[in-house]
Amino acid sequence: MTATSAAKETRQPGLLSNERIPGRAVSLPPGTIVDTHIHVVHGNPDLKPIPVEMEQLTASPPEVKARRLRMDMEQAKVAVALAMGQREGQGEDPLGIQSSLQVAAFVPGLKVIGIADPRRVTRNHLQAVERQIERERDKIVAFKGYLGYIHFGPEDSRYVPYLKLAAKYNLPVIFHTGDTWSFKAEQKYAHPLRVDEVATNHPEVQFVIAHLGKPWFIDAAQVVWKNNNVWADLAGLYVGDEKSIDELLRQERLPDVMPGLVISDLKNALGYAGRYDRIVYGSDWPLAPMAVYRRFFEAVIPKQHHEAVFRTNAVRLFNLT
């Protein structure tokens, strides 16, 4: 037995709570999956342009967005989807989730993720955050930190109040890592290696490296491999419309290099981490169409790990049972 395999065998399970959150349990019919990373709002400042159809969709009334989301979820067999909040939450909506909750009212299975903003750590703001968590405990499943977009590293002490709330309410903390959709973002804050420090110092909290740190896949994989309380999602690794992704899937084999994605780097990182029990699926909808993005990753992830990556890992991480 090698030192590496021995280390993997001796690692203990992560510190996941067995607490049942009232109203958070969901129904997952056979064959359905959990999409852990979508967006139903687009009001964040400083973003690069997105396709007109997506812009129109995210600017639509809640019931219109909900109708399209339900249709896409049904086509992709997504039973549960987790929607990111807006960065500029204030007042009695400090987590930036109110717009997403309006859509969730029309979409069974839609849960929301609140924003952890290190620029807002006053006592009043944090008290408002806790009140909102208490009001929406059946809908809020995690915090999200927008590394890069907000110029703070995950190890910054101003995240600590949110980490304490995350531990108290059994909420994982998702950190955006890697490439950003903004010219004003600063990438140095979004490198996945920075998650190692905060994960090491806060073992009571579960952390998710969003986007597997793209393009720093191996660095992200090392942080997942080393820490029992670090996971990664696969959202937004390839942005394209249904036609372009479908054309890729029709090829005899996926090309190794595509604009913005090196498939061999991704596969090597997943193999290096060896932790398919800590990888969760996400699409980054509407930047990628749900059904064909699912098929894309079904072609990338070894079949024996599909049940874990597309379904059971997310149920365990986000306390959905």
Over its length of 321 residues, how does the chain's per-residue pLDDT go in tens digits?
444 444 444 443 344 654 545 556 777 899 999 999 999 986 566 776 666 777 788 788 999 999 999 999 999 999 999 999 998 888 899 999 999 999 999 999 999 999 999 999 999 999 999 999 999 999 999 999 999 999 999 999 999 999 999 999 999 999 999 999 888 899 999 999 999 999 999 999 999 999 999 999 999 999 999 999 999 999 999 877 788 888 888 888 888 888 888 999 999 999 999 999 999 999 999 988 999 999 999 999 999 999 999 999 999 999 997
Residue 13 resides in a domain: no
Q: Where are the beta strands (DSSP E) in the chain?
A: 33-39, 78-84, 110-115, 140-145, 173-176, 207-210, 230-233, 257-258, 261-262, 279-280
Total structural domains in the chain?
1
* Predicted local confidence at residue 44, as pLDDT: 60
The CATH number of residue 217's host domain is 3.20.20.140
Residue 157 three-state SS? helix
Instruction: Specify which residues 233 forms β-bridges with.
Output: 280
Tally of CB atoms within 10 A around 268: 14
- pLDDT score recorded for residue 59: 82
The three-state secondary structure class of 83 is: strand
Say how many Å lie between the first and final Cα of the chain, rounded.
Answer: 36
5 domain-assigned = no
Residue 17 within a domain: no
Instruction: Provide the H-helix boundaries in 251-321.
Output: 263-273, 290-300, 306-307, 313-317
- Residue 286: which of 245, 232, 239, 244 has the closest Cα? 239
Domain that holds residue 70: 32-317
Q: In this structure, is residue 6 part of a structural domain?
A: no
Nearest alpha carbon to residue 208 among 308, 279, 105: 279
Which tokens go with 247? 């054309």
The amino acid at residue 119 is: R
Residue at 27 is within a domain: no
Is 9 contained in some domain?
no
Report helix, strand or coil for 189: helix
Task: Please name the residue that has the structure tokens 């549960």.
Answer: 80
294 phi/psi in degrees, rounded to 5: -60, -45
Indicate whether 7 belongs to any domain.
no
| Structure tokens given for 190 | 């979004």
Work out the number of other CB atoms within 10 angstroms of the CB of residue 101: 22
